[in-house]
Structure 1
Amino acid sequence: MREAAGERAVGQYPDATPEEALAYFERKYVELNGQVTLLEQRAKGGAPAADIAKTVANLTATVATANAVGNLAALAERLAALGGAVTELTEQQGAEAQAAAGAAIAERAAIVEEAERLAAEDPAKTQWKQASAALDELFTKWQDHQHDAPRIPKGEANELWKRFRAARTTIEQNRKAFFADLDSAHKDVRNRKQQLIEKAEALAPKGADGIPAYRGLLEDWKNAGRSGKKQDDAMWAKFKAAGDVLYGAKGEIDAQDNEEFAGNLTTKLELLTEAEALLTETDRTRARETLTSIQRRWDAIGKVPRDQVKVVDERLRKVEAAMRKLDDDHWKRNNPETKARAEGLAGQLNDAIAKLEAELVTAQESKDAQAIAEATEALETRKAWLKAIGQ
């Protein structure tokens, strides 16, 4: 090879023609040229600057002593140019790496802050099922971020991990304390309800007479709180069964009473037919005497079946209300003060009517249409008023 410093032997190729020997060493040059070209492409593609620099150094040493025939000086110049580009690439990639690390720190810090927010919640108001699921999701995000995101400085990574771990520990401690308190409260509720069950079951010998006491226990049960759905349902079944015993005894008594009182119902229904006939009665004295007789007989008959008490009582109350209205109307008509005012007003209206009738005659004689209309309207109004006061 001819170089700037002179000729340099690059090797021997025995048992071949000069052309074959030269072609061999030219292929060596082509291989080196290909390596330099590939390195240039990698540098343009943004390959890690450290890898480029290392390869440039290796190829530079190789080209300097290469046993190849070709423009090795040009290859050396291209490698030198790549060396300068490596510095620029290193700066660029350093800035990009720094920006990526800053973004990664911000993303990981957001995960930590969300965990710390969960840790700061009031344990008594926290929905623990949702909170536990949220914490698990945050931990998964943390692991994925460690695996997939750009690396961040070890010191900052350790500090963020300490904060995340502290928040997770706080959440777990709060959760355990909450459920420990809840278990204690549930235990107290179960004890209270068990005592109520025993009291309710002790009422069984009293039968229907035990119902008032059972209702008091029922109020205590409502105020006792809850102890978990499964336990509450089982305990309620026992408490209710004790009540069913009492109400069952009462049901038997009611059934006997209903059978006994069935005849009373028939008699009272007959009385109601007699009483409801008074709804059209206008003679107040006769209506009052009849109703009084009905009421005495009603009371003497006695009880009716429980499910009919309200029905028959409401029908009798309707008749009694009608009789009270009949009395009230009579009093209003015969009240001396009201009567005197009505008679005075009636006299004034009669005078006004006589005057208006005279004015109407005069208007008709003069054929004054407006006067006729005014007199007619005023006359009809006064007559309506007189009728309203019953005169």
Structure 2
Amino acid sequence: NIFSMPGLIFVVSIYTFPYVFIMLANTLELIASDLEDAASILGASRVRVALTVTLPMVLPAILSGFVLAVLQALALFGSPAILALPAGFHTITTQIWALFQYPPKVEMAAAFSVPLFLATALLLLIQKQLLGRRGYATIGGKGGARRRIPLGPWRLPALAGCLGVMACSIFLPYGILAKAAVARAWAQPLAAENLTLANFALTFGHGATRSAIVNTLELGIMTACVGAGLAALLAYVVNRKLIPGHQLLAFLALAPVVIPGVVLAVALFVAYTRPPLVLYGSLWILFVAYLTKEMPVGYSQSDATFKGVHPELEEAGRILGAGRLRVLGEITAPLARSGIIATWCFVFIGVIRELSASIILFTPNTKVISVVIFDLKEEGQFGAIAVLGLFMLGMTLAAVVVMQTLLGRDVIGTKD
């Protein structure tokens, strides 16, 4: 039963695991293969190499991914709103949203937000205590060619596990969406008399839907470009300790992840609906909300990336006479490029599916796809929802393919 606490946990797990996976994939790409080969030559088994060489190198990314996944789950609104409320129970975000319904209880909503801030501080403290003063980074950048590791009898179980994750998160959900998009009645068998393309014509023929698609693309591209650049700059400043109080800067960059989107939206609504700066009614208020909301995701990815680029590489360049900007452009940027590309994709994907802030800040002229889908869900238009869901999937895949094609990097995995 998906309308239950175990069902909600299952959906949230599917929602958060890609964040951890891409962080680990980009960190593993920076680990030189000759480090593992050297341990093997000295007689270490594959298990010992993994535990003593590979695991310490990726530990910062694992902890960053864990913290990000937990905080994303705590601050998530969309899935609990759809699954928890019909089941008769609240999460903290849906309870805060309920407190803003008429008559609004702003003070109680603010009190409910305090545990989220405390959870952020506690998780960041645990991460710092576990890592201590240890740092794990590659000194030589990328190593030699990647070599396959024979799994022996574990090959089929490993394949089954990977296919199981892919089935639960991709194949089955989007298979149902594809069926609903071309079916007259989505719950009936997909027979010839049940096939139709009317859902596509109805969805894309509506002027409000086309306007929402344009608004979503504009906001996604603009927020991703600004967010990726700002996140990379903050992560570089914090990791290289360029200014006093860099730890506070890191905390502030991660803090917005625990602010529920509905709370952020109400705060922006109050702040920007009156002079001197009136943004409500334009896309700019959504841009501010999206940039604030997605900054922790972008910063965490960039932070894990710069942790894998050792400062000694930059120091060697400066010793040879290169300035900081030249070192940054010729040494740091090439090594961190895949992580920054992943940050761009993270932010873009997060923006095009954001709901909690959009549902409060939109106007008839500034609707985005997620708001249209939410309205269609209230109307029971599952065919149109399926069409827009597949369209959002297409935009996501297009973003990854374009980035890989233009920049020649594999954003979602390692490259041979």
The structure with the greater share of residues assigned to helix is 1
- Of structures 1 and 2, the larger Rg is shown by 1
Normalising by structure 1, report the TM-score. 0.19
Normalising by structure 2, report the TM-score. 0.18
